[in-house]
Amino acid sequence: MKAMKSLVAFGLMAALSSTVQSAENLTAETASPGGSIHLSMSHLGEVAAEFGIANIQVADGQTLTNSIQNVAEGKTDIAGTPYILPFLMSMGRGPYSKLGPEKGAELAGNLRALYPVTLGIFALYAYDSKGLNGWSDLEGRNIYNGPPRGAALSNARSIIQLATGLKDGDGYKGVQVNWGQAVKTITDGSADAVVLPILFPDSRITQALASGNMTVWSVPVDKWNSDPFQKYLKAPGSAPFTLPLADANLGEGVTVVSEDGTFRGLATIGGDIVNKNMSFDLAKALTKAHIDTLDRLKAKAPFAKHAGYGVVDVVKSGMCGPNPLKYHEGAVAAWEEAGYVIDDCAK
């Protein structure tokens, strides 16, 4: 019996060893835990190992501006990103201004997407104790609108201006702190209101509720339907997001306000990306693992249901138009074999 047990154990060890040896060893970079882009990458690492596709060493808490450049240069295999970053890289602008347009375009041309992720939806919110009456009541207020620099701050400033006509420093005073100080800034009263990307439910709001009830406002319908706002919704890395108010769950103590029962906001869209030189088979296998386990992924966090996993609609996923990013050929094959439609402009 002992001999039989030893043989079985040896067989299992050999099978596991064979699986590990046949799998690729990959590196990946993503954002800090707690958000949708981290969840997609950590899940990929789990299922890739489970299916014997790859052993992915995931480094989280990374600056994604640097991460996608690492992928473009072949230093890292996979990275999470908001799609605004490949666009800025392709133009040699913003954080990639030192690259210049020629080098930036060359590097951005090396990037390919596996699948999309909704990183957050911009909304206005405030403690009820502040007595705020919504978007029309921001003049003269202190508004926490993001970190000191980056896409989130730019988006928040633009959305406030489109919804109210007010500019940061000219109509309201913007408050900027790093993401790590976000909850403290929300709760310490230094800002009268907040305009940041949220999820449903949202971890920052959940933590901040310990200091009092809050109200969240949808973008007003008339502003949403205006030509300037509709144009901005098509900016690289952006997409329109709507959700029935009944499904806009942010927890007990939060009131969500909309004129017509629908929450509206600008979504920041991104995804997990690879270098174009990743093999067809590997990119396909990774994407297939993501698709085949979407139900498991969506069950891992309360917000995951509305995080854009599995949504490849060209508008909702932020692809095409000014976004230069395309799907990897292997990813296209995986999506199409699973019955999804990938528009030609995204291939």
pLDDT digit string, tens, across residues 209-218? 999 999 999 9
Among 3-7, 106-110, 282-286, which stretch is predicted with the lowest mean pLDDT? 3-7
Superfamily of domain 120-268 in CATH is: Periplasmic binding protein-like II (3.40.190.10)
- The residue that leads in pLDDT, 282 or 22, is 282
The residues facing 113 across adjacent strands are: 273, 327
Instruction: Provide the 8-state DSSP code for 33.
Output: T
Judged against a pLDDT cut of 90, whether residue 39 lies above it is answered with yes
Helices and strands (DSSP H and E) totals, the chain? 13, 13
- pLDDT > 90 in the chain, percent: 86
What are 98-141's pLDDT values in tens digits? 999 999 999 999 999 999 999 999 999 999 999 999 999 999 99
Peptide bond into 322 cis (omega under 30): no
Q: How confident is the model at residue 10 (pLDDT cuts 50, 70, 90)?
A: very low
Q: How do the domains of the chain map onto residue ranges?
A: 2-118+270-346, 120-268
Whether the predicted pLDDT of 274 surpasses 60: yes
How close are the terminal C-alpha atoms of the chain, in Å?
A: 57
φ, ψ of residue 249 in degrees (nearest 5): -85, 115
Q: Is the pLDDT of residue 171 over 70?
A: yes
Report the interhelical angle of 329-337 vs 280-292 (nearest 10°).
40
**Measuring CA to CA, which residue among 243, 158, 231, 230 is closest to residue 199?**
243
The pLDDT of residue 23 is 81
What's the whole-number mean pLDDT along residues 295-305?
96
Residue 216's beta-bridge partner residues? 125, 256
- Residue 284 has phi, psi (to 5 degrees) of -65, -45
Q: Is the pLDDT of residue 34 over 50?
A: yes
Which CATH architecture group holds 2-118+270-346?
A: 3-Layer(aba) Sandwich (3.40)
Rounded alpha-carbon distances, angstroms, from residue 162 to 17, 40, 55, 231: 57, 31, 45, 11
Structural tokens at position 78: 């996979």
- The pLDDT of residue 151: 77
Task: Report the C-alpha dihedral over residues 328, 334, 339, 341, rounded to 10 degrees.
Answer: 0
Interior angle at CA 180, CA 178 and CA 186, nearest 5 = 80
Give me the pLDDT at residue 150, please. 75
Q: Cβ contacts of residue 340 below 8 Å, gap of 6+? A: 291, 312
pTM of the model: 0.86
Q: Is the pLDDT of residue 204 over 80?
A: yes
Looking at residue 152, what is its pLDDT? 85
Q: According to the model, what pLDDT value does residue 22 have?
A: 58
